[in-house]
Amino acid sequence: MAYTRSMVDATPSANEQEPEGSSCPPLNTKLMHALGLLQEKWTLFIVAALLHGPRGFNEMGRNAGRVNSTTLAQRLAHLEQAGLLRKTVHSTMPPRTSYELTEAGRALQPAIEAIAAWGERYMPDQPMGCGEEP
């Protein structure tokens, strides 16, 4: 199984090794970091919204679901630090910034499209408005 092999690190370091008799192989460290970053609530909503082009902070708040401004600011800062998006300051008074995906952020498009296709196939038909929380 190629998927499983790509997820499992064949040569874990000494401090990553599982105890004797464990049936759970260690996960690849980069996979663990990626899942840790992307599992945070609102992160994939933000990335999906930015796939349509750069957005300002307030526009992000409207397009990424019902995320509050504090959480949005934290997620945007975290995604910028991780190298998935770039922040551009247009003015300080009044404050005006925009956010756009980097190459690393745009590389998530196939994954988001795969999740969307999976949702189309397996999720029940329950329309959700733009302002509704999942």
Residue 127: which pLDDT band, with cuts at 50, 70 and 90? low
pTM over 0.75: no
End-to-end CA distance of the chain: 33
Single-letter residue type at 84 = L
- Helix and strand counts by DSSP (H, E) for the chain: 7, 3
99 CA to centre of own chain:
15
Structural domain spans, the chain: 27-119
Tell me the pLDDT tens digit for each residue of 24-66: 667 788 888 899 999 999 999 999 999 999 999 988 888 777 8
* The CATH number, out of the four listed (3.40.50.720, 3.40.50.10490, 1.20.58.60, 1.10.10.10), of the domain defined by the range 27-119: 1.10.10.10
Average pLDDT, the chain: 81
pLDDT at 60: 86
H helices of 8-126, in order, are 29-38, 43-50, 57-63, 69-81, 103-106, 109-122
Residue 95: which pLDDT band, with cuts at 50, 70 and 90? confident
Residue 21: which pLDDT band, with cuts at 50, 70 and 90? low
